Amino acid sequence: MLLETFSQGKCARRNQDNAGSHLPNEILSQVLSDISSEDSGTLAAFCMVSKRFNSIGHTKLWRKVKLGPTSTGAGNQDRNADSMTRWNEDQRKTIKHLSVIHHTNDWCKLSHTRHLDLPNIEILEIKMQDGFGNFHHVTENSSNTLCPLMKQLRPKTMIIRNATWLIVNLQCKGLAPRAWSEVETLIFVAPYVNTGFYERKYPYCHPTMPKLRRVFWIFDPTIEANIEDTEFRDSIQYHLLSVLTLRYPNIPITIVNVGPPNLYPVYSRFFGGRTFDGSEQIFRYWMDYFYQHEDDQPAGIEKKKQKLVRFISLNRFLEEERWKEWFEDKEIRIWKNSLAIQENHYEKIQSANLDRRRRPRLTLRRTHFARYLSET
């Protein structure tokens, strides 16, 4: 009923200034809190009802903005880059969270602006393409490898979506080094199926983050990675922790929602008959293996590195962290639903494995009994 009230007010242009006048600001704010910031159409309609409604809804409408050639935009801006030229100073100052989808430099040119001026930006969210670090594609006719729109942004939180452990090449993929200078929290969102070629002599060009305080690696249970030639690639459990601890020395690293161990194949020839109770043990084993066999690492360094890494569930992450600043309620609900399906699937696998272990003994007994009958 309340949503209908401001929608009807929008249609009644002549009564805009008086629309919803019988509702106190507290009620309107509550209505607004029930609208997802992802629902830009409803938020825009709310703000168009009257000046009063706009003053209440303006901050939420413009707090988070999505940009990119395949995005739907947010608020009264569309997906085209040239819409940025129409942002007024008040709108630019309101933006705290900017989400940018992978794009080409030709799309950047459509903005007709040298860079985005967002003085109060706190969170920059980057969605990579195919998970291999491609964010800003350069066409053959351009020599500019950096995204010009991002040149002046100095966020405190950086979110990298579709990440793989090939995160060492972030600086070379379109963001200027200065974009990382104020980053305190670095968040990677990645699929479970996550592979890539590993080369110890890889030419690292990782950005310098002098103010970095913590790193999160969150496994998204809804992502299905586009993987090719998996036979010749290393899975994520082999190198994730070693790469993270090498790139972010002395920084606490939190792995969120690592999932059940059936997601990470264990080949017996590598483990000498060792068994693992959970996924965390698999990851930590390979981290120890890496540091123990790396020539340029001091003896015993793996113990110090292990202390910097912790594994927590999604529920614990939601309890401990200010996740609403980073993610939408809708996305978290989808994650939880996917996890419920995943856990149910894992329980069925465990049950099937238990039945399979029992079956050979029964078959063997029947075989002996059949042999006995044939001999008598």
Indicate the residue type of 67: L
Q: Is pTM beyond 0.85 here?
A: no
pLDDT at 20: 52
pLDDT at 255: 96
Strands 195-196 and 214-219: unpaired
CB atoms within 10 A of CB 351: 10
Per-position pLDDT tens, the chain of length 376: 444 544 554 454 445 445 555 666 666 666 666 665 565 566 666 665 656 665 555 555 667 888 877 654 444 344 455 556 567 777 788 788 998 888 877 777 666 555 678 889 999 998 887 655 667 777 666 556 778 788 889 999 999 998 876 665 565 567 888 889 999 999 999 888 765 555 554 445 577 899 999 999 999 988 754 444 444 445 788 888 888 888 888 999 999 999 888 788 766 556 666 777 789 998 998 888 888 887 777 777 888 889 999 999 999 999 999 999 999 888 999 999 999 888 887 777 777 766 665 554 434 343 443 343 445 4
Q: What ranges do the domains of the chain cover?
A: 122-327, 330-376
